[in-house]
Amino acid sequence: MGLPLDLALRELYFNVNGGYISMEKLYRDAIEEGVEGVTRKNVKEWLQTQQTYIVHKPIRKHFKTQRTDVDGLAQQIQMDLVDMQAYSHANKGNKWILTVIEILSRYAFAVPAYRKGAKDMAVLDDHNIHHFSTRLTGKKAAIVERFNRTLKTRMWKYFTERGFTEKKKKWIDVLPDFVNSYNHSKHRTIGMKPADVNEHNKDEVWTKIYGYPLSHFPKPKFKVGDKVHAIPKQGTFDKGYTQNFKDEVYEVTEVFRGDPNMYKLINPDDDDDKDALGRYYEHELSLDLS
């Protein structure tokens, strides 16, 4: 074509007669047109400077997520509420069970709860626990949900054996016993009792769960200081042909090593948004080199 690389790629990509194409097709078209010096690497780098490509970059809806990113005990927990409203009359008015599980050891706690309002669930702030969520992906707290299923299965077997009617399922008195039994029973995933996990054997537990040492994680795709676009809140752009990434440019402020890695972002132009972005997976981000 005889044009500088930037102009040649621009002519090909923004041409309505065959343009707005994928990175690989743009590269092949550039080769066919005889663009000098073109490589897959510089085509990729050029596209990462183009806002149109960045925000419409295809996203993967199903990808590997972090099973955990902790490297020690009591660093991350999952919490959930078990709905027991139908049995509140038999349980001193308690309508919920607040369940908590420590990620690495699988050690669990469970307490009755009257309500599920913010004031009643302030246990995180009361105990200076800083929490996060992968709020953009809709991923669930799978470990605590599995514990909930185990707890309720044991409860319902107990109800059946005692012949409790639907309205008289009294669980409040036996809840501590079920939780204690769980914590002192061998857990199939970790190969030991949750109550037996400690700082001395935590590496052994990690290897048992994931099959490799605690320190073996894939190399991060992004680094602190990188400018990126993020996918919007789940359900906002989900047509496939509409914009997949938000226009806002965020900055990576922290890398959380894991399998896969996760990243903390801030909006450098918005002081109110700096602590409200949660953590993002690599597939939820698109690098911006503009």
Q: Say if residue 179 is in the same domain as residue 98.
A: yes
> Within this chain, do residues 81 and 171 fall inside the same structural domain, yes or no?
yes
pLDDT at 137: 42
In angstroms, the CA 116 to CA 256 distance is: 31
* Measured distance CA(235)–CA(137) in Å, rounded: 9
The domain that holds 172 is classified in CATH as 3.30.420.10
Residues 158 and 249 in one domain: no
Which pLDDT value is given to residue 80? 92
Give the chain's domain count. Answer: 3
* Per-residue pLDDT band at 42 (split at 50, 70, 90): very high
Among 178, 197, 216, the domain-final residue is 197
Residue type, 58: P
What gap in Å lies between CA 13 and CA 30, rounded to an integer? Answer: 10
Whether residue 109 is predicted with pLDDT greater than 70 in this model: the reply is yes
Residue 204 lies in a domain: no
CA distance 104 to 2: 59
Residue whose pair of structure tokens reads 């049995």 in the numeric block: 87
Residue positions counted in the chain: 290
**Residue pLDDT, tens place only, 215-248:** 677 889 999 999 998 887 554 445 455 566 778 8
Q: What is the pLDDT, as a whole number, of residue 162?
A: 83
Mean predicted confidence (pLDDT) in 117-121: 62
Write the DSSP symbol of residue 79: E
Residue 160 CA to residue 207 CA, distance in Å, equals 39
- Claim to verify: residue 40 and residue 98 sit in the same structural domain: no
* Closest to 279 in 3D by CA, of 144, 146, 130: 130
Q: Helix (H, G, I), strand (E, B), or coil: what is residue 96?
A: strand
Q: In percent, how much of the chain has pLDDT > 70?
A: 78
Based on the fold, state whether residues 118 and 159 are members of the same structural domain.
Answer: yes
The chain-wide mean pLDDT, for the chain, equals 81
For residues 129 and 184, membership in a common domain is answered with yes
Task: Tokens for 248, please give them.
Answer: 């806002």
* CA-wise closest residue to 210 among 52, 70, 82: 70
- Which residues are within 8 A (CB) of 65 and not within 5 positions of it... i.e. 6 or more apart? 134, 137, 139, 260, 281
Domain containing 261 equals 226-287
Classified as helix, coil or strand, 175 is helix
What pLDDT is recorded for position 136?
41
Q: Are residues 168 and 273 in the same domain?
A: no
What does the alpha-carbon distance between residue 98 and residue 174 come to, in Å, rounded to a whole number? 15
According to the model, what pLDDT value does residue 118 have? Answer: 62
- pLDDT the model gives residue 165: 80
Position with higher pLDDT, 207 vs 215: 207
What are the pLDDT digits (tens) for 146-197?
999 999 988 998 888 888 887 789 999 999 999 999 999 999 999 999 999 9
What number is the average pLDDT over the span 31-46?
A: 92
Of 48-57, 72-81, 122-131, the one with minimum mean pLDDT is 122-131
Q: What whole-number distance in Å separates Cα of residue 238 and Cα of residue 245?
A: 10
Same domain membership, residue 81 and residue 192: yes
